[in-house]
Amino acid sequence: MIYINTSSEEKGKKIKLAYQDFGEGQPIVFIHGWPLSQRMWEHQIPFFVYAGYRVITYDRRGFGQSDQPWEGYDYDSFASDLNDIIEQLSLKDAILVGFSMGGGEVARYIGNYGTSKLSKVVLLGSVVPFLLETDDNPSGVDGSVFEGMKEGIAKDRADFFKGFGRNFVNIEANQDRVSEAQVLLNWQIACSASRKGTLNCVDAFGKTDFRKDCEAFDIPTLILHGDDDAIVPKEVSAEKAVNFIKDARLQLVSGGPHGFYTTHHSEVNQAILEFL
């Protein structure tokens, strides 16, 4: 594993992010979801390297093998970390693929830093544009859902992620597509993350409004979502995002749960490749 030092510090020390960099060609940066790490991309890394792309993955602060600071679990910090990756690796004409809360990184990066280093964007099962139910977002998710998640994590994180992981892939409907061992691996990855970061990220992805960020998108954008997503239903995310992002294209994967990058990896990879 290799690391970059971000521009962020805690107690006078730079926060390190673990990343991987494979292949040659146009760069694709894959940004993982909560509560996982870059290890979630094992079906995507070889596929896109063999397709002729340079594939970069990294662990969000607090997750995987990156540092686990006490603070900084907000989208301005996450976008700054992504900008550090792009700047320090001298990426140009890059493609960003953000899964779930990783879609928020993509949106806030574009909102804060623009698209001069980018060529295309894929929002994969993303939380964009705004999940929380408010007066001006009446069809969003009730705030009690996020508070309940935090209560479950605080009480017994391991047990919470046991149930969450099964819903993540709709295990009962996808037994021919995903194994119990894969669910267990996801559980192990989730439990290895920072407890503080895991909790704080619930507020970040649940309560951050990306609608204004979406107005800054001016490059081709694919919104790819499973039509059987029980974690981030398409009705509160993808089907709204396509109306906020100019000229975005919405594509649904039939039977796809939230973790469709695993269960339906062939369909997901092919859809992204055709878009690129």
Q: Which residues are catalytic?
A: 100, 229, 258
DSSP string, 13-24: EEEEEEEEEE-S
Q: How far is C-alpha 185 from the geometric centre of its chain's CA atoms?
A: 18
Distance between CA 80 and CA 77 in Å, rounded? Answer: 5
Distance between CA 128 and CA 206 in Å, rounded? Answer: 10
Q: What is the layout of strands, in order, in the sheet containing 27-31?
A: 2-10, 13-22, 54-58, 27-31, 94-99, 118-124, 221-226, 249-253
State how beta strands 13-22 and 2-10 pair.
Answer: antiparallel
Return the closest-CA partner of residue 165 out of 35, 39, 30, 32: 35
Distance between CA 210 and CA 104 in Å, rounded? Answer: 7
Distance between CA 276 and CA 269 in Å, rounded? Answer: 11
Q: How far is C-alpha 2 from the geometric centre of its chain's CA atoms?
A: 21
- What residues pair up with 5 in beta bridges, in sequence order? 16
HSE of 156, CA atoms in CB hemisphere, 13 A: 5
